[in-house]
Structure 1
Amino acid sequence: MVVKQKRLLTPSVKMKWSRTEFLMFAFIFIHLHVVSSQTYNEAVTLLRNKTFFYEKSLRPVTNQSSTLIVNVRFDLVSIQAFDEVQESLTVIGGLTLTWTDDLMKWNPADYSGMVDIVSESGKFWTPYLILTNSVNKLDKVGESWQRIRFTHKGVAVVIQADTWSTMCKADVKYYPWDDHWCGFEFSSAAYGQNEMTLQPVSDAVSTQYYTESGTWELKGSDIHVRYENSSVLFRIHIARKPLFVLVNVVVPIIAMTFLNAMIFVIPADSGERISYSITVLLAIAVFLTLVGENLPKTSNPMPVFSFYLLAVLLISMVITFANIFSLRLYHHNNTGPVKGVFATLTKCVLHVNKCKKENKTVDRANASTKENKTGNKTNVNKLDLSTGYEIEDNSVYACRSCSFMNTDITWKEVSVTFDKICLVVFNILLVLAAFVFFMCVYTKKKKM
């Protein structure tokens, strides 16, 4: 078998494999030669040749009377914090600047095919920009350690990433369903419009690397060129995610307000009504303080939620005064019959309550009478259930007398009646206040 295999290997086949191997090794040799030619020494030589007469304080254009065009792009990475009190927004972002440097052009053939190079930006000219609406001190955008990339055609690209803190007027009128427009304005501080102009590369802020915030939602963005292309304003539209405030502030306050109105259900003899009322009032005041600390100290615009809290606080104060007045009536020293407005009002309320109870009693009696009828049709002329009603032909008449009861009214009855009226009135006021607050927010969301 070995001999047969040797005979199959003709000289022509051997020559074919030799050519294939030769071409393969030649390709590898040329490829390694090209890659290994772009050495460290070549890069050092390129930088030395191009920076020997380089002056970074001058604009890198051959004709110094021409205008240098700088393309700008703002990448939003994340929203760090929005301080409503200080009216400031802090984000992490990157400002990408692109321009043409006439002094950094070269022929790739002179440097073994090297088409681009990266170095420290501090060695070269970079656009002198400042963040004009910065919360901190005004300083040049970017650091010298940040890298800059040059192509053989002279195109320079530098990414100046940093944590930006800018002033942003807070509009908390519809807190916690508020939204804000905040801007980052980058301006040329050293050059006029005939020397350098800024041109945005798009019409919106780039969100390619954006990470969603747990507190704020990014609604949109826009870009404005100002002051004859010497300043670019990047604006972002953010809206608060209201679930946290809704669960931890709004709902507890609404629950406590209705809990405060339930004080009139507690019996006056229990002795806990005053302490209960004061406790709820203090709790509402504490929530009002917490909300006030998280809002800007400005009167234009005032949050609708602050007006709602103020209304709730005033209603709670009136409830406390009404509770004190009710206890005063309940423990009145005068043992004689009550006369005047208090007596008239109490008799009206008691009369209405008594008529309701009697109507229910008569309805039950009519139902029982119909069930007991057998054989021929019978008429029941009158059915006296000692309730003041007359029943004739199974129909219920009104009370015998619509006049007030002729009985005397005590101060305890006046106090109990006053509690019933207050329970209804204050619950209506609290529902009305909450309805107005949510309607204002709903109207705002509908407009958006």
Structure 2
Amino acid sequence: MRLNRQKVGLYGVFLLMFFWDIIDYSIPNLTYAILVLLVVLCTDIKKNKLNKSFMLVMTLIILQGLINILIGNESIGLLFKQVFAITICFIAYDNLLTPFSPGEIMSVYWKTAFYMALIGVFEAALSLFNDPALAKFPIVFTYTTYGGVVGPFPRLASLCHEPSFLGYFLAPAVCLYLGKKITPELIDDSLTVLNKEWEGIVILIAYIMTFSSVAYFGLAIMLLILWWEKGFSIKKVVIPIIVIVVYMLIYNGVEDFRVRINDTWNIFNGISQASTVNLSSFTYYSNWNVACSAFIHTKGFGSGIGSYQNMFDRFNIGNWGLSGLNLNREDGNSAFFRILTELGVLGLLAVIYFLVRNFRCQRDKHTIYSCAILTLFLMFLLRQGNYTHAGSIMFVCLYLKVKKVPQVQCSEE
């Protein structure tokens, strides 16, 4: 009976991720209440644990935030809102995942990613009918709420709020699929879901059809990580060539991607004015300015977790064209920008240390999990500043779990 409850908790975690955007945009903060409910119903409360390292980190973050409250950079409401959300997520995921191996966890994740991808591909197929009745069908056919198209194809968002979010959701699964092709020696034998080739193809197609710049950079990142982990072989030589060729094909074949790359390059190098670039590039550039100004203002100490919106209000460069915009006012459009602003140099160094220290150094059947999750984290650093979105902290807990799996246990399993 206990095992059944534990499985309910595991599946509940990924079901919650599956509907994260829908829940979050309908009833804010309901996701945290559901996580707490899952912990209460699906774990042995008496045996639940608190990670001491996590509690130490949060204590230091709270102290830094309190200092910033005294200085005037932070408010107590913003500080404890973030601390509460992160703590709830970490404790819940850490305890709900404890009874399961990385292979069991990622098998359930794979199924979730597949169904998310399948919904997206189904959207694309139905969009070819160009029927308004189908396009406006609630919940399932969400691409029309975003309205993005590339040629005749909709930019897939599935149940996510926008295509880039679907890219984040599917990225670890895409890395697992490519890992089986490129580095089969690093694949967990218990991950039998990877044997269903057609599911991997559906996930890869949906990922590509997000037509998201961050998804495409994620593809390059995961290929380079797999290249690094690959032992010397012909594939070691071929992978960089594949990355270059794929990038050139995407750059020349997907206009939206090309425009964003060109505009971002131009505005950061002073070639273009803010009003002449696309909105996405302007948003990224304006948040970069906020991060740099806030970093100088706080002398690299950071303004306190949750305070990014205060720094945005103080240092935002202003308008895009004729419109006054406050896009990504709370999350900075990039975890790198937000961490640099809120936690300063020490916070950024701590994140780098965490990523390097907890990557599985042994090249064994669990290494692929570290590769997949590291890809997602690097994508977050590039273009996603929400600390808790779509189960991101779940992957933090899994990253730690994979690191701790003993080498001896791997051979015994």
Give the TM-score taking structure 1 as reference length: 0.18
Quick check: which has more Rg, 1 or 2?
Answer: 1
**Greater RCO structure (CA 8 Å; 6+ sep):** 2
Between Structure 1 and Structure 2, which shows a larger proportion of strand residues? 1
Scaled by the length of structure 2, what TM-score is found? 0.19
